[in-house]
Chains A and B, each alone.
Chain A
Amino acid sequence: MTRTNWTFAAFLVLVLAGACVAPFLVKPYTLEILIIFLINLILVCSYRIPAMTGDWSLSHVVMMGVGAYTTALLSTHLDLSILLTVPLSAIVAGILGYIIVLPMIRTRGFGFFIASFAIGEFVRLTWVKFRDVFGGPRGMIGIPNGEIGSIDLFFATPSYFFMLVIAFICLTIMYRIDKSRIGSTFVAIYKDEELAEAVGINVPHYRALAFATGTFFAGIAGALLAHRLGAVDPKGFDINTMVYLIIWIVVGGSATFWGPIVGLIVVTFAFEWTRPLLEWRPLLFGGLLIFFLVFLPGGLESLLAKIRQRLVPGQNDDAAASPGTAGE
Chain B
Amino acid sequence: MPDFDVIVVGAGPAGAAAALEAARAGRSVCLLERGPYPGSKNMYGGVIYGRVLDTLIPNWWEEAPIQRWVTRRSTMLMAGDQAVTVDYRCSSWGEAPYNGATAFRPEFDAWLASKAEAAGAVLICSTTATGLLRDGTRVVGVRTDRPDGDLTAQVVICCDGVNSFLAKEAGLYPPSDPANYTLGVKETILLPREVIDERFAVRGDHGVDIEILGCTGEVPGGGFLYTNAESLAVGLVLSLPKLAACGRRPEEMLAELKAHSAIAPLIEGGQVKEYSAHVIPEAGYKMMPELIGDGILVAGDAAAMCLAAGIWLEGVNFAIGSGAAAGQAAARAVQRRDTSSAGLQDYRRRLDSNFVMSDHRKLREAPHLVMSDLAQQQLPRIACGVMEQLFTVTNPDPKPGLRKIIRGQMKLNNLKLRDAISQGMKALRTFG
A binds B: no
A binding-site residues for B, Cβ under 8 Å: none
